[in-house]
Copies of this chain bind each other. A is one copy, B any other.
Amino acid sequence: MSQPAFAETSSVPIQFVSRSRQRAEAPPALTTVCSSCHLKDLCLPCGMSAPTVERLDGLHFGRRRVKAGQPLYRAGESFQAIYAVRSGTFKSTLGATDGREQVTGFAMAGELMGLDGLAQGRHPSTAVALEDAEICAIPYDHLMELSADSGELQRAVGRLMSREIVREHSLMMLLGSMNAEERLAAFLLNVSQRMKARGWSATEFHLRMSRAEIGSYLGMKLETVSRTFSAFVQQRLLEVDKRHIRILDLEALTRTFEGRLQ
């Protein structure tokens, strides 16, 4: 574990811009307030009352761009902030000492990353952008200070962490008891729902990750992922053109793994 902390991580330093400064002089592009963010119903403020969201505006979010293929943070780095995806897609990976690594999740706009770093004060995982992306860095200390004053905020943060646990539970279920078709169906339906929640089509979308990354996430080899896609095409459940997916029969796809999840 020889991880030079910030050496190669980012060319662009995170900028923490206070809200007053922002009003006064800072370029508006670099700071954000939750209350006027278009992602507020998906992201950190989800489910909070308006006054509480305004409280969040006091947070000094730093915005940062991350180029495709670049890491947002790496395993071993000290934990300072959690991250909210503004645009783009990320993968989180856990590395083994023998070089193998496994994808533990994909994050889309409005989703949070880095909650796992809190346990040890260092990130155990690495987050890499799958396309050019933009994030909000939410300083954890500051978030804790704020939530000490607000029960609602405190609870919301707890719920977010709990939701992450629940998410991983379903993934364990998937990895522990589903076959290849069920796994891929579950994955596609999950992506479909998340696309829909973001106002995109639930039945036609572009995957940002490679077959190998999907396979790593689902616990199967890239060849098996590819074969399973082909099988779905043959069954007329999907149309697939490389990473472009069109779901032809959502119900049948759902039936493929019905009763297996939740």
Residues of A within 8 A of B (CB): 2, 94, 96-98, 100, 102, 104, 115-120, 124-125, 144-145, 147-149, 151, 154-155, 157-159, 161-166, 168-173, 175-177, 216-219, 258-262
Contact = CB atoms under 8 A, between A and B. Distances in A.
Given A96-B259, A98-B259, A116 B162 contact: yes
Within the oligomer, what is the number of copies of this chain?
2
Given A168-B168, A172-B168, A260 B96 contact: yes
Contact of A125 (B169, B217, B261): B169
A2 B94 contact: no
A141 B168 CA distance: 24
A173 to B, nearest CB: 5
Contact of A161 (B102, B158, B173): B158
- Overall SS of chain A's interface: helix
B172 A171 contact: yes
A144 B161 CA distance: 14
A162 B161 contact: yes
Given A162-B115, A168-B165, A177 B100 contact: yes
A119 B46 CA distance: 12
Contacts of A154: 144, 147-148, 154
8 contacts: A117-B162, A119-B165, A120-B166, A124-B262, A154-B154, A168-B168, A171-B172, A175-B176
Given A2-B119, A104-B169, A144 B155 contact: yes
Contact of A124 (B147, B166, B216): B166
B168 A102 contact: no
A115 B161 CA distance: 9
Nearest to A147: B154
A47 to B, nearest CB: 11
Contact of A163 (B119, B159, B168, B172): B119
A96 B260 CA distance: 5
A157 B154 CA distance: 11
A217 B173 CA distance: 9
Nearest to A260: B96
